[in-house]
């Protein structure tokens, strides 16, 4: 616990809340999302800036954002040069957030903006990270719920960082937590892990996740699979260790089997060559080797990307909020 947050903010200075909203083809939900966020912002004792990140949308998302910007000085728009993915879009928002507290939330309204005032109260109590933990997941298939349940518990066991289960990106971050995250510029970004990695006092708020308000989810099976691989390889070297363990076990098994064959031949003879068993052994060993090479390749590819030193994203346009920042 860091103590009362008022100690860190100058007396009489208005608190600024930054709300980061990644958006990729969200034209169906943006009007309702903006209505609910605006209503929430009017009811809190803080100024607000709404930072929308257009992540290479191909529909009318950018036009809708520009309409919102024209009618609301609190709206800021980051227009990325192409689709960089949600993790990078969130990073762009964090880079441009000026708030004393910063909230990350999706535009699909599965996470209720009405929970933000409670997050603010917990932040003022001294928590640097206040994250929303799901107690239910409406509108999702049984398979997706099951795989998500397995993934969060698997990565928590594999990682040296305590990543909270059943928790998405919906959370509030203090200024110092945001500053710490902004300093992390790795190319392959698993934000849920990075949020936990920075540490600081953290607290969960339980909520029931709603179904998507409108439109279709951008996450298909392939995307979720790649996301899982990203998370595991970003925060654990256990797959590399497992490849070593499997290699040692296979080598020992082959050695024992070789001794068995030698003794069998010496004492009982072996007049018939075992072609089927030989083929199975070759295929098995070949499969183990390819799996190990694949695991090594995943990590090597990430090292290759990091050595390039490319920027995380490029901006095609930036329209800041008209409201002065709290700096």
Domain parsing of the chain, residue ranges:
5-217+312-319, 238-308
Residue 53: per-residue pLDDT:
92
Strand order in the sheet with 101-104: 202-209, 129-137, 167-174, 101-104, 16-23, 47-54, 75-80, 315-319
Structure tokens at 217: 């989810």
Give percent of the chain with pLDDT exceeding 90.
6
Of 42-46, 207-211, 243-247, 289-293, which one has max mean pLDDT?
42-46
Per-residue confidence (pLDDT) for residue 52, from 0 to 100: 93
Strand bridging mode 315-319 / 47-54: unpaired
The whole-chain average pLDDT of the chain stands at: 76
Residue 303 CA: distances (Å) to CA of 197, 286, 325:
20, 26, 37
Q: Give me the DSSP letters along 53-113.
A: EE-S-SSSHHHHHHHHHHH-TTEEEEEESS---HHHHHHHHHHT---SEEEE--TTSSS-G
pLDDT tens for each residue of 125-154? 888 889 888 877 665 666 666 666 676 666
- Which range is least confidently modeled, 6-10, 78-82, 248-252, 293-297? 6-10
Question: Which CATH topology does 5-217+312-319 take?
Answer: Spore Coat Polysaccharide Biosynthesis Protein SpsA; Chain A (3.90.550)
Enclosing H/E stretch for 125: none
Per the CB < 8 A criterion, the answer to whether 138 and 213 are in contact is no
Given pLDDT bands bounded at 50, 70 and 90, which one contains residue 214?
low
Range from 49-53, 100-104, 232-236 carrying the lowest mean pLDDT = 232-236
Q: Which two tokens stand for residue 38?
A: 């605006």
**Tokens at 311, concatenated:** 């920027």
Confidence of residue 290 (pLDDT cuts 50, 70, 90): confident
């Amino acid at each position: 616990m860091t103590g009362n947050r008022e100690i860190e903010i100058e007396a009489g200075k208005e608190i600024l809340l930054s709300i980061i909203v990644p958006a990729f083809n969200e034209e169906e939900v943006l009007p309702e999302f903006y209505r609910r966020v605006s209503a929430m912002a009017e009811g809190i004792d803080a100024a607000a800036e709404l930072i929308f990140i257009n992540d290479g949308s191909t529909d009318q998302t950018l036009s809708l954002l520009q309409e919102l910007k024209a009618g609301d000085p609190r709206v800021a728009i980051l227009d990325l040069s192409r689709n960089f993915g949600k993790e990078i879009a969130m990073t762009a928002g964090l880079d441009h957030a000026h708030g004393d507290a910063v909230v990350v939330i999706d535009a699909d309204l599965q996470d209720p903006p009405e929970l933000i005032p409670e997050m603010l109260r917990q932040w003022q109590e001294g928590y640097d990270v206040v994250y929303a933990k799901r107690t239910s997941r409406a509108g999702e298939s049984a398979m997706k719920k099951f795989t998500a349940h397995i993934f969060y518990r698997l990565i928590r066991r594999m990682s040296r960082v305590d990543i909270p289960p059943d928790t998405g990106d919906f959370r509030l971050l203090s200024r110092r937590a945001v500053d710490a995250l902004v300093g992390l510029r790795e190319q392959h970004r698993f934000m849920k892990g990075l949020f936990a990695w920075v540490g600081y006092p953290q607290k969960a708020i339980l909520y029931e996740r709603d179904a998507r308000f409108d439109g279709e989810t951008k996450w298909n099976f392939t995307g979720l699979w790649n996301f899982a691989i990203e998370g595991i390889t970003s925060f654990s070297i256990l797959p590399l260790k497992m490849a070593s363990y499997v290699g040692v076990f296979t080598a020992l098994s082959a050695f024992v089997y070789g001794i068995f064959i030698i003794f069998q031949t010496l004492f009982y003879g072996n007049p018939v060559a075992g072609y089927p068993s030989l083929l199975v052994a070759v295929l098995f060993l070949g499969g183990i080797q390819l799996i190990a090479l694949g695991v090594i390749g995943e990590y090597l590819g990430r090292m290759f990307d990091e050595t390039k030193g490319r920027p995380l994203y490029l901006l095609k346009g930036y329209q800041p909020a008209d409201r002065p920042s709290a700096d």
